[in-house]
Structure 1
Amino acid sequence: MSELFTVPARKGRAARLTKGQAIKIINTHGSQVCDTWAFSAEDLKEFLSVEHMRPTLGSIYPKKGQPLHTNRRRPILVLEEDTSPGIHDTLIAACDDYRYGLLGCKEYHDNCTDNLMAGMRQIGLTPPEVPSPVNLWMNIPVGADGATQWGEPVSKPGDYVVLRAAMDCIVAMSACPQDILPINGKQGVIHDVHYQILG
């Protein structure tokens, strides 16, 4: 078994993958959203881009076996395994301090934008921007009229995804600290998530 690493609740981490390696991201508690990014190791200006991925896949949900594309329309990761119902959001930008201000916070609130930056800094990198992430296990129902809702995750404890690197890349993750809306469950309790690097 490969080493099990922790993305602490409310925090971010990043990991380097060489082409052909994979990362297994585990929703240990079942209700935790994990914002997920990927950047080309060769050029951080090339990154997983949900707005480029959606038209290529023809769906707002990436499905098992499908590649996830960059802003240069190249595969960077492949969704190799997914034990959850497959509900992952690609519409909502990473939360930030401005977002929490709009939600009524008067003081600083942990957020996924800062978690991305902190996670990348831990491995000596600074991303040139904050792309919209793939929000693993985040449930954003879209109505026939285009209206969106803040749903609870439909995943269960131990659900995981395996993302296989199609190029040398850095995968960054944030255990989303959203505790005002119910996206991490009605109780608003934020949990850690875990990951392993697979050969």
Structure 2
Amino acid sequence: MTATPHSHTEAAIHAHDDNGSALGENATLHEPISADGTPEPGRTYTVPARCGRAVRVKTGQTIRVTNTHGTQVCDTWIFNAAHLNEFLSFEHTRAYIDKLIPQPGDPLVTNQRRPIAELIADTSPGVHDTLIAACDLHRYKNFGVTGYHDNCADNMRLALKAIGLRAREVPQPFNLWMNIPVKSDYSIEWLPPVSKAGDYVDIKAVMDCVVVFSACPQDIVPINALNPVEVEFKVLA
């Protein structure tokens, strides 16, 4: 039988020539919401602090992501469930919508410049980030951390692996509630979220998707108020 693009055989072949392998491990790998990421509609799932989760969302379904405490950044990726090499790309989305930050009613488009989802509701002030790469082990080493530090890039990789999938790269995430203002001199700041407890974002799938969330483990710059905590999500019934 011909191997699929995401088969274990191809994953093994490419394990050392792409960016798909985690550099460490945490509980994410062992706590998927289900064996293949299929959710129970209407059920609330928790993304524990410093960990990630992957969930399958079918065309037309809406997923709600809730900032439980109001202080937590949630890195969010959306992959085409049929071909993980197509994914939500903010290099392409910013050009498509002529905005740095999407607002309700805006499409979210892939690296093939076609909508994969739509932002349909946002109860927060709408301050999110689409510029900053997911934190990774290299980022924490640059901060002087020795040893392993939980990070969003590995959380994405581990969350996919937990449901039997693998992506060959870590795309630019949709950093929900991350507050990175661009100043008049084009420098940026790293500030705590301006969202409040219970604020949520609704994202409607335009194609069958795998959505991955990471409750960002960043505890060195104040984007999570220096205290990473959990977030919640559910696929609306």
SS at match of 1:130: coil
Q: Who is 2:20 aligned against?
A: none
What is aligned with 1:153? Answer: 193
Q: Cα deviation per residue 1:111-154 (whole Å; 9 max; x = unaligned)? A: 00000011111211011210010000000010111101101100
Structure 2 partner of 1:36 = 76
Secondary structure of 1:117's partner? helix
Structure 1 counterpart of 2:227: 189
1:71 paired residue number: 111
Establish whether residue 138 from structure 1 lines up as the match of residue 171 from structure 2: no
Mean alpha-carbon deviation: is it higher for 129-138 or for 143-152?
143-152
**Cross-structure match for 1:110:** 150
> Over residues 73-95 of structure 1, what are the superposed CA-to-partner deviations in whole Å (9 max), with x where a residue is unaligned?
01111001100000110000000
Q: Which residue of 1 aligns with 2:52?
A: 12
Map of 1:88 onto structure 2:
128
Percentage identity across paired residues of the two chains: 55
Of the three residues 62, 66, 71, the one matched with 1:22 is 62
Residue identity opposite 1:197 in structure 2? V
- Between the aligned partners of 1:73 and 1:60, the Cα distance in structure 2 is 16
Q: Which digits, 9 at most, give the CA deviation of each residue in 1:152-177, with x for residues without a partner?
A: 10000000000000000100000000
Could you tell me which residue of structure 1 aligns to residue 31 of structure 2? none
SS at match of 1:139: coil
Shift of 1:102: 0.6
User: Aligned partners of 1:15, 1:22: CA distance in 2, in Å?
Assistant: 12
Higher-RCO chain (CA-CA 8 Å, sequence separation at least 6): 1
TM-score, normalised on structure 1?
A: 0.97
Matches of 2:163 and 2:107, distance apart in 1: 25
Q: How far has the Cα of 1:4 moved from its partner?
A: 0.5
Paired amino acid for 1:103: F
Shift of 1:198: 1.4
Q: Alpha-carbon deviation of 1:107?
A: 1.6
* Misfit runs of 4+, over 2 Å: none
Q: What amino acid is aligned across from residue 148 of structure 2 in structure 1?
A: Y
TM-score of the two chains, using structure 2 as the length reference: 0.82
Distance (Å, rounded) in 2 between the aligned partners of 1:23 and 1:14: 12
Aligned to 2:209: 169
Q: Which residue of 1 aligns with 2:86?
A: 46
Segment of structure 1 superposing worse, 90-99 or 56-65: 56-65
How far apart are the structure 1 equivalents of 2:206 and 2:85? 17
Counterpart CA distance in 2 for 1:23 and 1:104 is 37
Instruction: Count residues with an aligned counterpart.
Output: 197
Separation (CA, whole Å) in 2 of partners of 1:113 and 1:122: 14
The two structures, once aligned, show a CA RMSD in angstroms of 0.9
2:163, 2:175 → 1: CA distance?
22
SS at match of 2:92: helix
